[in-house]
Amino acid sequence: MTEKDYNESVLLYADNVYRFIVKNLRHTEDAEDIVQSAFEKLWIHKDNVEPLKAKSYLFTVAYHLLIDHTRKANRITLQESFENDSQTAYQENKALKKVLHDALATLNETQRSLVLLKDYEGYSYEEIGEITKLTTDQVRVYLHRARLKLRNYLISPQQVL
């Protein structure tokens, strides 16, 4: 990958990676840090990355950075802090979307990442498996569990009322 390819990757994939991270973390500053770290890693290894696989490489790096980030320190405290922080919290305009994203928050990082990669980026089971280092069956099973969990949250009596 050349410098030009790298800059094209920034132009094409930075928003996608950021969306993937910010939807997982629900914290913009942490998401920015992870996105920046992901692209920095791409820049360092640009000679070993083919341009066509730059997007997959970026999501793989971002996903692992996300896992590392959430496993650090007190994850629950962090989650509470950005939920209460009005400046950094991701603003949801629509009620249904807010409920859905609240449901996403009930998922673990792996399940949430799988849902985001599937719905936002349109990756197949195989591609998600390459990014998350999971098998195709694992991706399918984890993703199905995440869907059922989201559905149960959405149709729960509290959300209906």
Partner 1 sequence: MQNISLHNYQDFLLRYIDEELDLREIEALLAFVALHPAIAEELESLQLTKLDIEVISCPNKAVLYKNIFPVILEPETIVYPYKQKLFKKEKEKAPVVLLKWWAVGAAAVFLFMMVRYGMLDQKAGSTVSKNSISKNKDAKESPIAVVKNNAPTNNSTINNPDANTGSMGATKVVAVIKNNTSNAMEYAAAQKIQHQTIPTASTVTAHETVQNIPSYNGDIIDVKPTIIAEITVPSMPENDETTETIETIDTEAASSNRSVMVGAFEIDKDKFRGFFRKANALFKNKENNRNEK
Q: If binding is defined by CB under 8 A, does position 34 make contact with partner 1?
A: no
Residue type, 29: E
- Token code pair at residue 150: 């989201």
Among 49, 54, 116, 134, indicate the residue that binds partner 1 (CB under 8 A).
116
Angstrom distance (rounded) from CA 3 to CA 44: 11
Angstrom distance (rounded) from CA 26 to CA 150: 17
Looking at the Cβ atoms of 133 and 151, the one nearer to partner 1 is 151
Looking at the Cβ atoms of 74 and 142, the one nearer to partner 1 is 142
Name the residues that contact partner 1, by CB under 8 A: 3-4, 6-8, 10-11, 14-15, 17-19, 22, 28, 32, 35-36, 39, 43, 96-97, 100, 103-104, 115-116, 118-120, 122, 124-125, 140, 143-144, 147-148, 150-151, 154-155
